[in-house]
Amino acid sequence: MQKNKKIVSAVMCGYLLAAGLVSCAKKDGKTELNFMEVMTSPDRTAVLQNLISRYEQEHPNVKINLISPPYEQADNRLTMSLNANEPLDIIEIRDTTAPQYVTNKKVEDLTPFIAQWDEAGTLLSITKEAASSAGGKPFLVPQFFYIKALFARNDVLAKLGVTKMPASIDELYAICKQITNGSTQFGYTLRGKGNPFKNSDVLIISDIKDIDPENIYKTKDGSSVFDNPQFLTSLKAYAELFKTACPPDANNWGFNEQINAFVAGVTPFLVQDPDTVPLLDSQLGRENYTVIPLPPGKSGTVYMDYGYAGFGIPSYSKHKNEAWDFIAWISSNTQNSEFCEKYGALPVHSTAFTGNSYFSGGLYQAWADEMNNPGSFTFVKYPYASEKFPGWGQIQEQYMQSLLLGKVTAEEAAKVWADYWK
C-alpha cells in the first residue's frame, strides 16, 4: 500500500510539472514559489524573468517558478487553477478579474502585510484605490496603470498654424475640423475597433455632470447616462467629428491603424495610453510629438477610467510570508519604475514621478497631473462585475459603427444601449 502511495505521488508530481505547477515545498534547502502571470507577452515575460533572477540572487533560499500561459488563455487558466486550489503562491490579478477572485475567496487580504511595508507611504492615491477596488480591502498590489492622455503632433500642428493646445473637448473638436482638408489632412485619430468605447466614452460622457465614480454609465442619482439629454447631444457631436475631421475608414481602425496615421501626420491628435510612448519614440522621435492631459468636457472635468493589474497571494498558499516578501520587493519604487519603463506603463509610486529621470517631467508630466489633481480629473470605474459587461463591447461597437456610417440615428443607438443596461 505504501508503495502504491509513492507511485500515485510520483504521477501527481509529474502532472503538476507538465502543467507548469510544482508543489511549493522546501527543495535543496530552498523555498519554491509558483508565480502565474496573465498579461503575457515575450518581451514582458523576459522583463519579469530578469527581475525574478535578481531577486533569487539576493535571496538564495528562494526559487520562483514563473508560469506564463498564452495571453488569450491566461485568465481562464488562472481561474481554473485557483478553483482547483492548485499550488500557486503569487498571481497576477487584473482589474476585470479581481471581483470574482475576491467574491470566491480565492485571494488573501494583504492589509496586515501592507501595514508593515516601509514603501506603502509613497503609493499613489489611485494605487491604494485600485488595490481595494474589489471587496474594499487590498487584495492586490497594483504594478502599473494605463490611463488615457492626449497625444499631439506638435510639428504637424505648427505647420498648420495651430500654436495653442485645446483647453476643452469642444476646442479639440474645433481644431480638428479646422485643420481637416478632407483628402490628405485630417484632425482626429478615431478608434473604431477593439473596445472603442474606452476612447469614445471619455469624450462623450465627460460632458455630463455628476457621473457615479463606481459606474461610468450612471449618474449619482442612479439614472442611466444613455437616458441623459446631454449624452444624446454629445453623441451627435462625436458622430459629427467622425464625418468632418476623421479619415473615412477610421471607423475600422484599431490600435495599429491609429498609431500609423499619427506617425504619418495624417491625424495629429490621438487619445491613447502610455504604452504608446515607446512606439512613438522609436518611430517618430520625442521632439516631434507631445502629450498633454485630456481636456475637460462641459461638466468641468474629464471622466477617466484606469486599467491596471497587480500581484496577489492565493488564500490557500502555504508560503504567504515568502510570497509577500517578493511582492514587496518587486513593487518597490526602484523595481516598479524599472518594470514600467521597459513595459511602457505608469508606475504606482509618487516618488517615481519626482525622483526618476524617465518619469519626472517631460511627457509623463501629463499623467502625473491627471493622477494628482482630483476634481479636474475624475477617475471612474466600468461595471466589470456585471454579468452584462462581457457582452457590452460587441453591442456598443455594433451600434456605434452603424451610427458613424449613418445607418442608425443617435436616438436609436442610445436607446439600444440604455435598454441593454436595464
pLDDT for 225 equals 98
pLDDT for 278 equals 87
Confidence of residue 29 (pLDDT cuts 50, 70, 90): confident
Grid cell listed for 124: 499613489
Calculate mean pLDDT across residues 169-195. Answer: 95
Confidence of residue 195 (pLDDT cuts 50, 70, 90): confident
Q: Which residues does residue 219 pair with via DSSP β-bridges, in sequence order?
A: 211
Residue type at 211?
I
The answer regarding whether domain 19-145+308-350 maps to CATH 3.20.20.70 reads: no
Calculate mean pLDDT across residues 13-38. Answer: 66
**Mean pLDDT across the chain, nearest whole number?**
91
Q: DSSP letters of 300-363?
A: SSEEE-EEEEEEE-BTT-S-HHHHHHHHHHHTSHHHHHHHHHHHT-B-SBTTHHHH-TTTSSGG
187 pLDDT higher than 70: yes
Cell 508606475, residue located: 347
Distance of CA 200 to the CA centre of its chain: 16
Closest CA to 160 of 139, 187, 141, 182: 187
pLDDT for 17 equals 41
C-alpha span between 147 and 275 (Å, rounded) = 10
C-alpha span between 327 and 311 (Å, rounded) = 7
pLDDT for 387 equals 87
71 pLDDT higher than 90: no
333-343 and 320-330 helices, crossing angle to 10°: 60
Domain boundaries, the chain: 19-145+308-350, 149-304+366-421
pLDDT tens for residues 112-160?
999 999 999 999 988 998 999 888 999 999 999 999 999 999 999 999 9
Cell 514600467, residue located: 340
pLDDT for 24 equals 47
CB half-sphere exposure, 297, CA atoms < 13 A: 24
Closest CA to 242 of 411, 404, 409: 404
Confidence of residue 2 (pLDDT cuts 50, 70, 90): very low
Q: What HEC string does 73-131 produce?
A: HHHHHHHHHHHCCCCCCEEEEECCCHHHHHHCCCECCCHHHHHCCCCHHHECHHHHHHH
C-alpha span between 386 and 15 (Å, rounded) = 36
**Nearest 5 degrees, angle CA 391-CA 394-CA 396?**
100
The better pLDDT of the pair 386, 166 is held by 166
Distance of CA 124 to the CA centre of its chain: 16
Grid cell listed for 132: 481595494
pLDDT for 245 equals 98
pLDDT tens for residues 305-325?
999 999 999 999 999 999 999
CATH T-level topology, domain 149-304+366-421: D-Maltodextrin-Binding Protein; domain 2 (3.40.190)
**Cβ burial 248-265 (10 Å sphere, 16+ → b, else e):** eebbebeeebbbebbbeb
C-alpha span between 68 and 6 (Å, rounded) = 30
pLDDT tens for residues 90-109?
999 999 899 999 999 999 99
pLDDT tens for residues 356-366?
999 988 899 99
Calculate mean pLDDT across residues 34-44. Answer: 92
Q: Do the two domains 19-145+308-350 and 149-304+366-421 of this chain adopt the same fold? A: yes
5 pLDDT higher than 50: no
C-alpha span between 307 and 39 (Å, rounded) = 12
335 pLDDT higher than 60: yes
Q: Which residues does residue 270 pair with via DSSP β-bridges, in sequence order?
A: 151
pLDDT for 373 equals 87
Distance of CA 371 to the CA centre of its chain: 14
19 pLDDT higher than 90: no
Residue type at 299?
S
Coil/strand/helix, residue 379: strand
pTM of structure: 0.81
21 pLDDT higher than 70: no
Coil/strand/helix, residue 270: strand
pLDDT tens for residues 256-305?
899 999 999 999 999 999 989 988 999 999 999 999 999 999 999 999 99
pLDDT for 27 equals 61
223 pLDDT higher than 50: yes
Calculate mean pLDDT across residues 368-387. Answer: 89
Calculate mean pLDDT across residues 8-13. Answer: 33
